[in-house]
């Protein structure tokens, strides 16, 4: 009996082994490889792993690089607007749908459908909706605003000097807020009805119930959603490419990395950007993973 058990355990290990090896190589090995490239002198098509002098020079150059500074600012601005926008809209929609209204499932289906389509599709459509042309060539939302007499809303969208990236947050919120709604909704649904009833009996109004009972209870969801949205926004790439191509104004680290590496051949610089990107994501995600796995164990 005991022997058989051990044999099974060995087979189990062998079943997972290919995946472990794949993850070890393609994730951790490749990250190490990228890190090595980021410390090298590799420019051009032929790999060149000669150490950079000084070793960190690719990183040091990035910190001096005006384009990278624009990227960091763009990412920060985009992250704040996108995360805050998607969280607030998602929570708002979840609370609305939590009121047992008729037609709830239709609303829910529509709010969540953008999650099923690619950022490329979203980007291609929104680039026409946010077409910055004005005057006689006006189209998209500008045209709509003009027709509705809301001229003051006509604007340059993603071509607004210095603030273009803020407008990319709109399609991103459109795409992801339904997901946040779904997260909150599952949280709201798991709060026992008696809790609300008890508060109502005690004379609390709906606003107070949400403010003092429900919102504190869904705090962990806010935390999860922030981490998930935050790491998505650090990685934002497809959406920007599809809306605006490779415009310097809307540059972010993920786009810079892609362009400088595969168009420009500056492999060592591209690798340095990618490692910085990875570190920023890891700082966000690793504590979250630890927290999630710990709460899972205590259940």
- Considering only residues 175 to 234 of the shown chain, the ones binding other proteins according to CB under 8 A are 178-179, 182-183, 186, 221, 224-225, 228, 231, 234
49-57, 64-72, 150-158, 171-179 -> range binding other proteins (CB under 8 A): 171-179
- Cα of first residue to Cα of last residue in the chain, in angstroms, is 31
Considering CB under 8 A, how many residues would be counted as binding other proteins?
103
Cβ proximity to other proteins: between 68 and 162 the closer is: 68
Of residues 75-114, which lie at the interface with other proteins (CB under 8 A)?
89, 92-93, 96-97, 99, 101, 107, 109-114
44 binds other proteins, rule: CB under 8 A: no
In the bound state with other proteins, the residue whose beta carbon lies nearer, of 162 and 220, is: 220
Taking CB under 8 A as the criterion, the residue among 78, 119, 158, 167 binding other proteins is 119
Site membership for other proteins, residue 126 (CB under 8 A): yes
Binding-site member from 80, 84, 129, 226 for other proteins (CB under 8 A): 129
Q: Report the site for other proteins in 259-298 (rule: CB under 8 A).
A: 261-262, 267, 270-271, 273-275, 277-278, 281-282, 285-286, 288-290, 292-293, 296
Pick 162 or 206: Cβ nearer other proteins: 206
Stretch that binds other proteins, among 62-70, 71-79, 153-161, 172-180 (CB under 8 A): 172-180
Q: Could you say whether residue 117 binds other proteins (CB under 8 A)?
A: yes
Residues numbered 5 to 34 that lie near other proteins (CB under 8 A) are 7-9, 11-13, 15-16, 18-20, 22-23, 26-31, 33-34
Distance CA 145, CA 143 (A): 6
């Amino acid at each position: 009996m005991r022997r058989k058990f051990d044999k099974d355990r060995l087979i189990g290990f062998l079943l997972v082994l290919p995946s472990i090896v794949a993850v070890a190589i393609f994730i951790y090995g490749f990250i190490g490889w990228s890190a090595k490239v980021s410390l090298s002198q590799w420019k051009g098509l032929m790999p060149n792993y000669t150490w950079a002098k000084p070793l960190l020079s690719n990183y040091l150059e990035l910190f001096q690089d005006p384009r990278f500074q624009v990227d960091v600012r763009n990412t920060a601005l985009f992250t704040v607007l996108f995360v805050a926008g998607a969280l607030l809209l998602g929570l708002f929609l979840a609370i609305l749908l939590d009121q047992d209204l008729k037609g709830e499932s239709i609303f829910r289906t529509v709010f969540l459908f953008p999650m099923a389509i690619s950022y490329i599709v979203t980007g291609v459509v929104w680039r026409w909706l946010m077409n910055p042309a004005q005057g006689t060539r006006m189209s998209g939302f500008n045209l709509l605003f003009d027709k509705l007499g809301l001229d003051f809303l006509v604007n340059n969208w993603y071509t607004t000097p210095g603030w273009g990236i803020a407008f990319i947050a709109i399609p991103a919120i459109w795409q992801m807020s339904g997901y946040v709604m779904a997260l909150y909704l599952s949280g709201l649904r798991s709060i026992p009805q008696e809790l609300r009833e008890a508060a109502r009996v005690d004379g609390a109004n709906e606003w107070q119930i949400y403010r003092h009972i429900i919102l504190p209870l869904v705090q962990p969801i806010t935390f999860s959603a922030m981490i998930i949205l935050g790491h998505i926004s650090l990685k934002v790439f497809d959406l920007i490419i599809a809306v605006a191509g490779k415009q310097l104004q809307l540059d972010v680290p993920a786009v810079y990395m892609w362009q400088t590496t595969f168009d420009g051949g500056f492999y060592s610089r591209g690798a340095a950007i990618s490692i910085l990107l990875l570190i920023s994501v890891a700082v966000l995600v690793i504590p979250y993973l630890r927290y999630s796995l710990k709460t899972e164990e205590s259940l």
